[in-house]
Structure 1
Amino acid sequence: MRFFSDFQRILSGYPAPAKLLAVFSVSCGGVIAYADSQSGEITSLQQNQKAMAKKRVLVLGTGWAGTSFLKDLDISSYDVQVVSPRNYFAFTPLLPSVTCGTVEARSIVEPVRNIIKKRKGEIKFWEAECLKIDTANKKVYCQSSVDANLAGNNDFSLEYDYLVVAIGAQVNTFNTPGVYEHCHFLKEVEDAQRIRRTVIDCFEKAVLPELNKEDQMTNLHFVIVGGGPTGVEFAAELHDFIHEDLLSIYPSVKDLVRISIIQSGDHILNMFDERISSFAELKFRRDGIEVLTGHRVLSVSERIINMKQVSTGENISIPHGMVVWSTGVGTRPVVKDFMEQIGQGNRRVLATDEWLRVKGCEDVYALGDCATVDQRKIMEDISVIFKAADKDSSGTLTIEEFKDVIEDIMIRYPQVELYLKNKHLFDVTDLMKDMNGSDKTEIDVESFKLALSQVDKQTKNLPATAQVASQQGAYLAKCFNTWEKCKSNPEGPRKFRSGGRHEFRPFQYEPQVLENPYGILSFFLTHMKSSSNNRYRHLGQFAPLGGEQAAAELPGDWVSIGHSTQWLWYSVYASKQVSWRTRFLVIGDWFRRFTFGRDSSRI
């Protein structure tokens, strides 16, 4: 198609073209003569020249995005370095299971060096925290996370040609007083281990002699702030841990334990299907878990949590033994500082274009929870699109002219495809009729604008989940792998069908039909496909609810609730482990829990 040949000049945000490299050598005779006498040195010289020719790729972070990028990256063309404050990758969806001993912490982590050693040691890893990104000088300033008492300097800097920011996010406290001082979080493995120790401490303190009943009830009141997937799953795990394992060894306090979920919205799991949300609330109330919807936390102290009931404005204070804060994600300080540098200080999260390149910053890419894709709006380009499609300059578009550009339009603007599917318009002629409201075979520019005026409302932001981060990492690695093979400028004309040459498609949301009778089949087919393509494929989401029951919302508007869904959860989470070692360890932990119960020691 020639559509984007005319259209390209108004689009911005494509990745920069691959940088050209030139390597010069001495004459052939000189090389041969030198090689005869100094073959070892010439080999070393060639290796040094080859190393110098490689572009330096610096990756910040070893979470879902960073690890996925490293696993799929072909490092033969790059000098790759990795900086992360932790020397392991953690399977974060199982953190709630770690808090109660259902799964051990070591079972869900894989050392980073185990992952990169498959690359024959060509990837260098530094256990350190990034303190500052200097894009002007293409430098990153870091501080070692290793014990400061050891010999040597802890501060160092690294230079890069391409920077991949996959730092992730931190807990969003909404500046609520007392949260950092008195609440537990559930973002890291260390967080889950601290929660596990605190739960045991609460029970051990509650059974001490001469402790009055009021203090016992305070110590055994576990509060979860946030009714999202993480908070709900932790509440379910904690309920099972208490009722299946702890009450049998602490029988004197079995009637004093309380679990409460505080949610500011009207329902827990409000990002799920309404059927799942209603079922979860009903099950929790049946299990004795108190669900306080429509309550906003005002402050947290050592033993009291203060909140306001939204509907009445009444202030309420309740005692607690432990509070777990699970209310979404916020931006890390180093990312905030970086955003200030590049003119994005007024945003809540780092903005990238559809190729995951940070807006306004060349050769820097961001993916995962620390960034969001800022999808271009079609109405910004609508006039130029029409002009490029109108090849005969007649002022109208025929069916043939429209057919020639519609596929490219849907790839460049995925919200168009979602809009068409939601309106059940799958044929070009049906779309033309919808545009001009008649059986005319041509449309003018005003009809074209009017018909697509509602399209941008379909634009979707990708959620901050492990699925998104992992698929973004695989996509960016694929782009890097094929960059040097690109025969033309990525900003040049685009033929999204087989054009005989590589071109970068933008990373976009995969539009799906909202009503699909084959939803479960679609899920399994999608689940088995490789995620290393240019579109985010939503594989569904799970919500374990305790008692060996779970809820799942899968593509195609397919909802499953019950015991069979819990076994589907087991199989999916086992298959998604990063290595066979962790896969066997997690399955072994599940088997141990079914056989011997959870470990109640404080270790």
Structure 2
Amino acid sequence: MHCFVGKESKDPSLCYLTLSSGGLVAYSESQVDHSALAADLSPRDVKMKRVIVLGTGWAGMSFLKNIDISSFDVQVVSPRNYFAFTPLLPSVTCGTVEARSIVEPIRNIIRRKMVKFNFVRQSVSRLMQQTRKLCHSNDDTVSGKTEILLDYDYLVIATGAQVNTFNTPGVTEHCHSLKEVEDVQKIRRSVISCFKKADLPNLSKEEKIMKLHFVIVGGGPTGVEFAAELHNFVKEHLVKIYPMVQNLVRITVVQSGDHILNMFDEKASVSEKEIVVKVKSEGIVSTISYGMVVWSPCTGTRPVIRNFMEKIRQGKRRSLATDEWLRVEGYDSVYALGDCATIHQCKVMEDISTIFSAANKDNSGTLTVKEFQDVIKDILLRSSI
């Protein structure tokens, strides 16, 4: 139990916490001190084009697995030096799966390709597309915080997205997010803390009910999965430790739509025995007391990407617009993929007048069935080229 400063504890709730969060040591122990590495990249081979990849998530790792690293000078820049299987984060939070089972160090993944690459464990602060440079900060205990410029021939932006607060007051200060592996331990400790406080003898029943009210904002896959995992964790473990408060626990899912998982077909439903959806009239503001809140609505754009979008006149978009080859519009040397980007495809409605005029061969002002079928065939043919 060295993760608790070497002190043993007789509190069984901490034992659960230690067992589940022990997997976090799996990636923390594999971390390498990159303080010197961040200050200097390896000497550049002028014969090879330098490719800088931002991010070690799904998109970034997919790109690194498929690129021929031996043909390029590949540099990976990311604040985390591991890949996480994020769909299982709710399960890790409640101990169903260990954290070490869903993380893998980047070096282990790339090493299988038997090639050299360079990794910089830092967050990018600025992208300068005109000079083909990016800037990241290096926090050095001796020299202090300094900015370091990295030049590139090709830039692959795969930074993903961040939690979207919708500028809701108090979210950042009082809510947990469930997007990174680091969030897992915080949420689990908070859940156990709520039970420990509710079990205190000097609290009234109303205060106990408030402490044991867990609210999940967002009825998407993450929110619903976490609600189910939390329910199982409470029923199978915590009520055995705190039997006096087992009937006071409530789990509430708050969703803006009329049903949860509204991005899927309505056939994908959740048992009404576990989650109750209450439809409220528009304009009514309700106040809910809670012990813990997990904020898991849709994602938003990261600040560094937002600043970059404003520089390249894409500030009104929600994500970077790319062509069908994932190149950022107007910049052939910059690529974007994953949650931070979207493919900008020409919409049929934008050219509907031209399409109609070309299809209306008899100038009747209407399309026959045969003419309409020819239009559809032509659209399908163009989209396949």
* Interval containing the TM-score (normalised by the shorter chain): 0.7 to 0.9
What is residue 436 of structure 1 aligned with on the other side?
A: 368
Does residue 359 of structure 1 match 2:329? yes
Question: Given the superposition, is the C-alpha separation of residues 379 and 225 from structure 1 closer, same or farther in structure 2, using an over 3 Å criterion?
Answer: closer
Secondary structure (helix, strand or coil) at the match of 2:240 reads: coil
Contact 1:92 1:188 in 2 (8 A): yes
Q: Using the alignment, how far apart are the partners of 1:92 and 1:127 within structure 2?
A: 20
1:142 aligns with 2:136: yes
Task: Give the conservation status (yes or no) of the 8 Å contact 1:358–1:364.
Answer: yes
3-state DSSP of counterpart to 2:136: strand
Structure 2 vs 1, CA of residues 175 and 153 (structure 1 numbering), >3 Å: closer, same or farther? closer
Distance 1:226 1:379, change over 3 A: closer
The equivalent position to 1:286 in structure 2, one of 273, 278, 288, is 273
Structure 2 unaligned spans of 5+: 1-42
Q: TM-score, normalised by structure 2?
A: 0.80
CA contact (8 A) 1:185 1:191 kept: yes
Change (3 A) 1:255 1:150: farther
Match for 1:124: what amino acid?
A: N
Indicate the SS of the match to 1:71.
helix
Q: Which runs of no fewer than 5 residues in structure 1 stay unpaired? A: 1-47, 295-308, 398-433, 457-493, 497-504, 506-603
Flag as ranges the 4+ runs of structure 1 deviating above 4 A.
150-154, 378-387
Matched, 1:165 2:157: yes
Over 3 Å counting, the alpha-carbon distance change for 1:375 and 1:67 in structure 2 is: same
What SS class does the counterpart of residue 248 from structure 1 fall into?
helix
Counterpart-to-counterpart distance in 1, 2:353 and 2:71:
41
Match of residue 377, structure 1, among 347, 367, 372:
347
Q: How does 1:235-384 map to 2 (within 5 A)?
A: 235-277=227-269, 280=270, 283=271, 285-287=272-274, 289-292=275-278, 294=279, 309=280, 311-378=281-348
Structure 2 Cα separation of the partners of residues 214 and 153 of structure 1:
48
For residues 271-328 of structure 1, the C-alpha deviation after alignment (integer angstroms, 9 at most, x for no partner) is: 1121213xx1xx1x313x4434x4xxxxxxxxxxxxxx3x253221111000001110
Judging changes above 3 Å, is the alpha-carbon distance between structure 1 residues 126 and 355 closer, same or farther for their aligned structure 2 residues?
Answer: same
- 2:335, 2:119 → 1: CA distance? 19
Match of 1:303 in 2: none
Contact 1:55 1:78 in 2 (8 A): yes
**SS of the residue aligned with 2:286?**
strand
Percent identity between matched residues is 60
Query: Equivalent of 2:201, from 196, 202, 209?
Result: 209
Report the 3-state secondary structure (helix = DSSP H, G, I; strand = E; otherwise coil) of the residue aligned with 1:275: coil
Aligned residues: 337
* Rg (Cα) greater in structure: 1
Residues 26-74 of structure 1: per-residue CA shift (max 9 Å, x gap): xxxxxxxxxxxxxxxxxxxxxx99x322111010000000011101111
Q: Is the 8 A contact 1:105 1:193 kept in 2?
A: no
Structure 1 residue identity aligned to 2:328? V
**One-letter amino acid matched to 2:368:** N
Give the partner amino acid of 1:319: S
Secondary structure of the 1:247 match is: helix
Structure 1 counterpart of 2:78 = 84
Give the deviation of 1:256 after TM superposition.
0.7
Q: CA deviation at 1:267?
A: 0.4
Asked if the contact 2:214–2:250 (Cα under 8 Å) also holds between the matched residues in 1, the reply is yes
TM-score between both structures, scaled by the size of structure 1: 0.52
* 1:352-409 deviation per Cα after TM superposition (whole angstroms, max 9, x unaligned): 111111112221000000011111234656899999x99xxxx979xxxxxxxxxxxx
Shift of 1:452: 5.0
Aligned pairs for 1:436-455 within 5 A: 436-437=368-369, 451=375
How many Å separate the matches in 2 of 1:143 and 1:386?
Answer: 55
Secondary structure, aligned partner of 1:347: coil
Distance in 2 (alpha carbons) for counterparts of 1:63 and 1:81: 15
Deviation at 1:155, TM superposition (A): 2.9
- Is the Cα contact below 8 Å between 1:169 and 1:332 reproduced in 2? yes
Q: Which residue identity does 2:171 align to in structure 1?
A: V
CA RMSD, Structure 1 to Structure 2 (Å): 3.0
Name the residue aligned to 1:55: 49
Secondary structure of the residue aligned to 2:90 is helix
Per-residue deviation at 1:91? 0.4
